[in-house]
Amino acid sequence: MSIVTHLFTLIGAAVGSAFAWKLLQPEFIQRSPSRFLASAEKGRDGRPPVALVTGASAGIGVAFARQLARAGYDLVLVARRKDRLDALAASLRQQHTIEAHALPADLANADDIERVAGVAADVSEAGRLDLLINNAGFGTVGKYADLPFQSQLDMLHVHVTATMRLTKAALPGMLRRGRGGIINVASTAGWYPLPGNATYSATKRYLINFSESLQAELDGSGVCVQVLCPGFTYSEFHDREPYRASGFRRERLPAFMWQTAEEVAEASLNALGREVVCIPGVHNRAIALIGNFTPRALVNAAWQRISPV
């Protein structure tokens, strides 16, 4: 075997090892309790820390709320469906002896965004807002040219504008306190351009870049930012009308590609303060990493095999 062959073999082994380490390392991080949660501090008034969770009426938002209630956090729960928020808040108060406040709001609406931002700012200024989770989101199915523009504008407001505004409201108090966490829920869809989900994948990509840039700005401040990028998750997301009408079926995808909302929320909270980009599940990390080296034509062809559009 020539020296050149040996050299390429060593380079290949090094690259493969680095790839495998990058792929597998977060699994150990996400199984161990977060140092951030373990060191949660009470506010200046001696009351428990507060987490504000948007999109808290279903799926990953509910899973975040339940896990944070078990950790002793008081909660501000934000979503459109008041009946669900009230029921969840009452259940968590009874089970965990915490304060849980329902704050009904539609984050596609500018006035509602400002109202929630006002609450976030007040709690942050009081030194109690320990965690902001920008989880609210929804998807549409169809070609951009065929979809109502208002639905795409609403998605931009929910995913991007609300995240920016609530983060801006929360940061001053967190920075003065020298502590805080912000989790922005994106998606593995943010790593790819997705035909049939053009606005969705674009807004999720924004959240990835925004979160990484913001964490770089906040380095050393005591405030940590994470962007959570789940893949296919068992929740009501794919049960909504656009997906049902398009013929999307979970069984079209292998079972290993799905995670529960509880698994996603647990991985996120455990990785907070350790990883800026949290991609739960080895399969999802592989999808994101491989996507960086795969020609877009192949990505689009593969997506169209499972996409309902």
What residues are labeled active site? Answer: 200
DSSP state of 62: H
Query: Would you say 181 and 131 are in contact if contact means Cβ atoms under 8 Å apart?
Result: yes
**Alpha-carbon distances, residue 185 vs 20, 138, 153 (angstroms):** 25, 11, 18
Long-range contacts, stretch 237-245, CB < 8 angstroms, 24+ apart: 237/59, 237/138, 237/139, 240/138, 240/139, 242/139, 242/140, 242/141, 242/142, 243/139, 243/141, 243/308, 245/141
Say how far residue 27 (Cα) sits from the centre of its chain: 17
Q: 278 - beta bridge partners?
A: 228
Interhelix angle 149-156/198-218, rounded to 10 degrees, is 20
